[in-house]
Amino acid sequence: MHYRRAKTPGATYFFTIVTDNRQSVFRSDETIALLRQAFHTIKAKSPFAIDAIAVLPDHIHSI
């Protein structure tokens, strides 16, 4: 799989992440807590800001 990674300092990006086979992974408080922890862990290594995020049962939209 080939991923495109933009490296423009100060840029803003919109992205969507869809779960495997559109499984409803993000329905429980536990999985939302795991998602928050994952974002926290990655932000500690590579700082970024989340301007907006929408978490739906089977996908995430973020700016």
Q: How does pLDDT run across 20-29, given as a tens digit for each residue? A: 999 999 999 9
Is residue 42 one of the residues assigned to a domain?
A: yes
Is residue 21 one of the residues assigned to a domain?
A: yes
Is residue 2 one of the residues assigned to a domain?
A: no
Is residue 35 one of the residues assigned to a domain?
A: yes
The residue among 31 and 7 whose pLDDT is bigger is 31
Q: What are the Cα distances from residue 39, in Å, to 2, 21, 44?
A: 23, 22, 9
* Separation between Cα atoms, residue 20 and residue 60, nearest integer Å: 12
Long-range contacts of 31-38 (CB under 8 A, 24+ apart): 35/60
How many folded domains does the chain comprise? 1
C-beta of residue 41 within 8 angstroms of C-beta of residue 6: no
Is residue 8 one of the residues assigned to a domain?
A: no
Quote the pLDDT of residue 6.
74
Mean pLDDT (whole number) for 20-42: 95
Note down the domain range covering 25: 15-62
Among residues 13, 47, 10, 54, which one has the least CA distance to residue 32?
A: 54
